[in-house]
Amino acid sequence: MRHVIPVAGRFGAPDRRSFCPEGNCGVGFESQEVGLDIAIVGSGTIGLTYGWLLSERHGVTHVVRPERSGWYREPFILRVTDRRKAADRRKAIGRREFKGVEAGERQVSAEGEFPYLPRIASDPEEVRCDVVLVTTDRRRLASSLETVRALAGSGHVVFMLNHWDLPSQADGVLKPEQYSLGFPGQVGGGRDGRRIEATVFPRGTVLEAGDDSRARRLREAFEAAGLHVKAQKDMAGWLKLHGLQQSMTVGPILRAGGLDGLLGDREEMKKAVLALREGVSTARADGANPRGSMLGRLTAIPAPLSAALLRRLLGRADVRTMVERHMRHGIEEWMAGYWDVVDAARRHGVPIPHVLEYEPTLAAFARGGSGSFAER
């Protein structure tokens, strides 16, 4: 049985046929005043925040497991720090009502609290959609793939998560033409019960580049909701390099006892840069092209200068907040990325002595024996 909770909202209405030239990418579109019908698999902080943003212009349904549907029957409170330009912000939150504001009294602000009651469904076979966004973390991806397979019969799937080699997992379930890759980097945050602390950055939504009408309409759909989209070629390679930012810094942060400890230890920061270099070499051996990428440039200069630049980057207030929240709520995902790099290096025969220095630290943390970080 399908369980649905409607969410109030005002939706635009672009012509659906411009996204699906054949006009048959989903059922019931003409009867709803929506832009696109979007299903989201993975309703944590990222999925809920993107759902909230997209729901201003589109019909959004969060597909959840039946045993979890009760959790989504009450509103979540999103405390949003919005760092976008005012013009983009107005597209998404300018007409939303703040918690505690009288009905009809609208405000535009860079920060506020917003209630979000997601529309949910627990039976993917009954969901009709144009697009499926998969925002689960990579540890839960395998258990979500049957749901994704069912939804792919209705809409195009976009995997939006960190993963060293996502096609190797997706290709066993979907045909290559049924999915594309992306990354939800425009949102960061954490959750405490029903309260979500979210930051919306000026940029960071990345979608796989394409010249077809589907790719163009997907990009337009995100932009209509006030999100900035970067179209990225070789998305699989980009994800390998992007994931190194977390997978190659989790060891240094843990060994230093936290982000503050790493920022204050120049030698440890230099070792982190050397590990990043080895990670970039591994990504290159695995098919990624680091030329022109931020990490490629960062790791090509002398280690002391790289360490100073990395220290400055990690010390920025917005980056620091995002890293600390991820370390509280998503550290296991970062650790899984570390082991992906180690496995790939061994497959390709890439020497990674500095990466392997952190193996005992991560192994001890996984066993629960570290006792040195955050909640331990």
For the segment 4-16, the average pLDDT, to the nearest whole number, is 34
How far apart, in Å, are the Cα atoms of 184 and each of 46, 224, 228, 285, 300? Answer: 7, 16, 11, 26, 27
- pLDDT: which is higher, 329 or 143: 143
Please give the pLDDT value at position 88. Answer: 61
Are 48 and 189 in contact by the 8 Å Cβ rule? The answer is: no
Q: What is the pLDDT of residue 12?
A: 31
Of the two residues 156 and 33, the one the predictor is more confident about is 156
DSSP 149-187: HHHHTTSEEEEES--TTHHHHHTTTS-GGGEEEEEETTE
pLDDT the model gives residue 1: 36
4 has pLDDT over 60: no
pLDDT of 149 strictly over 80? yes
Two tokens, residue 268: 């440890």
pLDDT score recorded for residue 66: 92
75 has a pLDDT exceeding 80: yes
Domain positions in the chain are 16-233, 242-367
Question: What is the tens place of the pLDDT at every residue in 203-226?
Answer: 999 999 988 889 999 999 999 999
Residue 89's pLDDT is 58
pLDDT per residue over 255-303, tens digit each?
999 999 999 999 999 999 999 999 999 999 999 999 988 899 999 999 9
From 50, 35, 192, select the one nearest 116 (Cα to Cα). Answer: 50
Task: State the pLDDT at residue 211.
Answer: 82
The string of DSSP codes covering 120-146 is EES-GGG---SEEEE---HHHHHHHHH
Residue range 306-317: mean pLDDT, rounded: 91
What residue has token string 């930012």? 245
Mean pLDDT score, 59-75 = 93
Residues 23-50: tens digit of each pLDDT? 333 333 333 344 899 999 999 999 999 9
Cβ neighbours of 178 (radius 10 Å): 16
Q: Which of 185-199, 232-246, 359-373 has the lowest mean pLDDT?
A: 359-373
Helix (H, G, I), strand (E, B) or coil at 373: coil
pLDDT-derived band at 21 (thresholds 50, 70, 90) equals very low
Q: Are 127 and 152 in contact (CB under 8 A)?
A: no
| pLDDT of amino acid 10 | 27
Would you place residue 190 in the very low, low, confident or very high pLDDT band (cuts 50, 70, 90)? confident
Q: What is the pLDDT of residue 219?
A: 94
Question: Mean pLDDT throughout 223-233?
Answer: 94
Architecture of the CATH domain 16-233: 3-Layer(aba) Sandwich (3.40)
Q: What is the mean pLDDT of the chain?
A: 83
